Amino acid sequence: MVIRKKPIKIPQTLVDLGRAVSVRGTSAEYKWPKKDNVRLCASVSGKTLYCLRPNMTTTYNRLEEICGDQLDTDEQGIELYEAWSGFEVDTGCLIKPPRGFLWYVELCHDVVYESDKWSGKLQKYIHSFKTLPSIWVNRKQKPTLLVLSGGKIKTTKRGITG
């Protein structure tokens, strides 16, 4: 068995899609209770998904507090969030990722999340992947960061596809 690992690298800008409920792999399921408020986020390209614990973020009430002079460089993330949710961006977070490595654990079948996209009412969504992405974790026991990459993940106005 080949152990696959890679350094933890999280993009400067992520798009918050909602609260992660669970991720089901080929042999295990990762679940988070509502009280944990684990966030499901997408990279600006929409091709990678991240499940982050709230203690990894610092929330700001105004987008300008995060982006400041970099607002133009984050325009793609702003556009993706507004297309995804149907709402304007008004808050944001700075992410403090853990140091170390991500470890490959298995392929992902589906992700379950709650979001208030489009309607403003919290709803549960299930996305089953046609082309299975890889699941990477920062710890094999009780991970605080889970990354879905590969396959044909795409975050669009219609939702998560792939």
**By three-state DSSP, how is residue 81 classified?**
helix
Supply the pTM of this predicted model. 0.83
pLDDT number for residue 119: 81
Domain with 15, as residue range(s), is 5-161
Q: How many structural domains compose the chain?
A: 1
CB 127 within 8 A of CB 118: no
Please list the pLDDT of the chain residue by residue as tens digits (162 residues).
567 999 988 887 788 889 999 999 999 999 999 999 899 999 888 999 999 887 665 554 444 444 444 444 467 777 877 776 776 776 666 666 678 899 999 999 999 999 988 788 999 999 999 999 999 999 888 888 999 999 999 998 888 988
Residue 131, C-beta contacts closer than 8 angstroms, at least 6 positions apart: 151, 152, 162
pLDDT number for residue 53: 82
